[in-house]
Amino acid sequence: MKARVLVDASDIDRFAPHTHPLWWGILGAVAIEAAVVATLLTSYFYLAAQNPAWPPEGVAPPDLFWPTVVLVLLPLSSFTMWWAGKGSDRGDQRQLSIGVTASVTLAVLALVARSFQIAEFDASWNDHAYGSILWVITGFHYTHVVSAVSGTAVVAVLAWRGYFTPERQLGVVVDTVYWYFVAGVFLPIYLVLYIAPRLL
């Protein structure tokens, strides 16, 4: 059977990081994670509604200081991440390297702040459902920051070694999307875990 050529792919771009399917894939991963967070937060409210007092009698809601520090650090780290991406788009490897390194540093600081805050929790995970859900949501987010930091640390090392030529920016673009999510999702968590118990 004869073939009529309708599309010639010879000159079509092979290195389009912003429309690359992987970008969509990360969006899918983010959608899943967002669904998990939504489920966790809904469970929090469900358990709250089942209990006469929330937090239970004699338990203080978590202190606001450290979470607020985290709330500042994470968006800041997203900003440096965005700035790094701008550099990478222009082919500026130095800006990229500095940017991702700054992000990793800021996020590590956020992890430290978060650890202080966890040490201060008034409730343990094993004496009341309140403590359980508090710890689990916190642990979930903590784990995600750790994985975003680990992944981005690898990107940072590669960036300093000049790996990300314009054809290889994809890794940066994808890592950035995930980073935004991990940073952004802290806002609803903050509102629910730290503000809501003061209003309920």
Partner 1 sequence: MTAVGIETSGHDPALEPSSYGHEAAVGREAFERIERTWRSPAGFVGWFTQVNHSAIGLRFIVTAFVFFILSGLLGLAMRLQLAMPLNEMLSPEAYNQIMTVHGTAMMFLFAIPAMEGVAIYVAPLMVGARDMAFPRLNAFGYYVYLIGGSAFFLSLALGMAPDAGWFNYVPLANKTFSEGYGVDIWTTMITFIELSALTAAVELIVTIMKLRAPGMSLDRMPIFVWAVLVMSFMILFAMPSVMVASAFLMMDRLVDTQFFIVENGGSPLLWQHLFWFFGHPEVYIILVPALGIVTSIVVTFSGRPLFGYTALVLAITGIGMVSFGLWVHHMYTTGLPFMGRSFFMAASSMIAIPSGVQVYCWIATLWGGKVRFATPMLWVLAFFGVFIAGGLTGVMVASVPFDRQVHDSYFVVAHFHYVLMGGAVFPLMGAIYYWFPKATGRMLSERLGIGSCLTVFVGFNITFFPMHILGLQGMPRRVYTYVDGLGWGNMNLLATFGAFLLALGFALTLFNVVRSLRHGAVAPDNPWGGSTLEWATASPPLNCNFIQQPVVESRRPMWDWREAGSRTVVAGLSEDRRETMVTTLLDARPQSVMVLPGPTPWPFVSAVAASFGFIGLIFSPWFFPIGFFAVFATMVFWFWPRHPWRKK
Residue closer to partner 1 (CB basis): 9 or 199: 9
- Report DSSP state, residue 57: T
Question: Which residue ranges make up the site for partner 1 (CB under 8 A)?
Answer: 1-16, 19-22, 24-25, 28-29, 31-32, 35-36, 39-40, 43, 46-47, 50-51, 56, 125-133, 135-136, 143, 146-147, 150-151, 154, 167-168, 171
Cα separation, 14 vs 93, whole angstroms: 21
Beta strands in 12-68 (DSSP E): none
Residue 17 Cβ vs partner 1, minimum distance, rounded to whole Å: 10
- Whether 105 and 156 have beta carbons less than 8 Å apart is answered as no
At residue 196's C-alpha, the angle toward residues 195 and 200, to 5°, is: 130
Shorter beta-carbon distance to partner 1: residue 75 or 151:
151
* CB distance 171 to 164 below 8 Å: yes
Residue 68 CB, shortest distance to partner 1, in Å, is 27
Q: ∠ at Cα 65 (192, 63), nearest 5°?
A: 60
8 A C-beta contact, residue 79 and residue 176: no
Instruction: Pick the closer one to partner 1 by CB: 130 or 186.
Output: 130
- Spatial contact of 96 and 164, defined as CB atoms under 8 Å apart: yes
Nearer to partner 1, 56 or 184 (CB): 56
Residue 42 has a CB neighbour count (10 Å cut-off) of 11
In angstroms, what is the minimal distance from the CB of 79 to partner 1?
25
Write down the least CB distance from residue 180 to partner 1, Å.
18
Smaller CB distance to partner 1: residue 71 or 159?
159
Q: Smallest gap, in angstroms, from Cβ of residue 1 to partner 1? A: 5
Which residue number, 40 or 64, has a Cβ lying nearer to partner 1?
40
Q: Can you read off the two tokens belonging to residue 114?
A: 């978060």
CB of 75 to partner 1, least distance (A): 25
